[in-house]
């Protein structure tokens, strides 16, 4: 995975049923190869994914480093995913897709700065998954307010 040439997958894409795991995998593989470019493996979003699974970031990176296919990653994380109930997984995924910065925080300042740079007219974008998708040139449908 060379993130100097392409983007990691969207947080919205699920791997082993877990939102964000595909992206975390891409970033872990790139970090292991030294091709992560501007992307930081084990950022707060990665920590959220790995923390939910109960997987150490270094162990995860080392275990997915040479994976050729997602099926290999899924085999590695399956025991961790199976420890979660369907309700826990559903709640995690819902919360992950709604992840937004805390009002008044440094993260919110960064979020608004990035949104104003990437798409200043998109005030409807209020979550990290949508903002990262916009930044990485993925289409994000406009939210209609009533």
Question: What does the pLDDT average to over 108-130?
Answer: 94
Q: How far is CA 11 from the centre of its chain?
A: 4
What are the Cα distances from residue 102, in Å, to 111, 113, 115, 121, 142? 10, 14, 15, 21, 22
Share of the chain above pLDDT 90, in %: 95
3-state secondary structure 4-58: CCCCCCCCCCEECCEECHHHHHHHHHHHHHCCCCCCCCCCHHHHHHHHHHCCCHH
Task: Name the pLDDT band for 100 (thresholds 50, 70, 90).
Answer: very high
pLDDT at 146: 61
Domain ranges of the chain: 1-99, 100-146
- What's the pTM value of the predicted model, to 2 decimals? 0.91
Q: Please write the tens of the pLDDT for every residue from 116-126.
A: 999 999 999 99
The 10s digit of each residue's pLDDT in 23-72 is: 999 999 999 999 999 999 999 999 999 999 999 999 999 999 989 999 99
Closest by Cα among 19, 11, 7 to 140 = 11
Query: What is the spatial distance between Cα 104 and Cα 36, in angstroms, rounded to a whole number?
Result: 30
């Amino acid at each position: 995975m060379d993130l100097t040439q392409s983007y990691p997958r969207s947080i919205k894409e699920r791997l082993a049923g877990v939102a964000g795991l595909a992206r975390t995998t891409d970033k872990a593989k790139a970090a292991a190869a030294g091709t992560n470019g501007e992307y930081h493996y084990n950022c707060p979003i990665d920590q959220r994914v790995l923390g939910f699974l109960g997987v150490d970031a270094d162990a995860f990176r080392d275990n997915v480093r040479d994976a050729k296919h997602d099926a290999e990653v899924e085999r590695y994380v399956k025991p961790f995913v199976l420890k979660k109930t369907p309700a826990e997984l559903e709640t995690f995924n819902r919360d992950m897709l709604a992840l937004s910065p805390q009002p008044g925080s440094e993260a919110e300042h960064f979020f608004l700065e990035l949104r104003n740079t990437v798409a200043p007219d998109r005030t409807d974008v209020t979550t990290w998954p949508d903002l990262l998708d916009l930044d990485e040139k993925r289409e994000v449908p406009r939210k209609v307010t009533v």
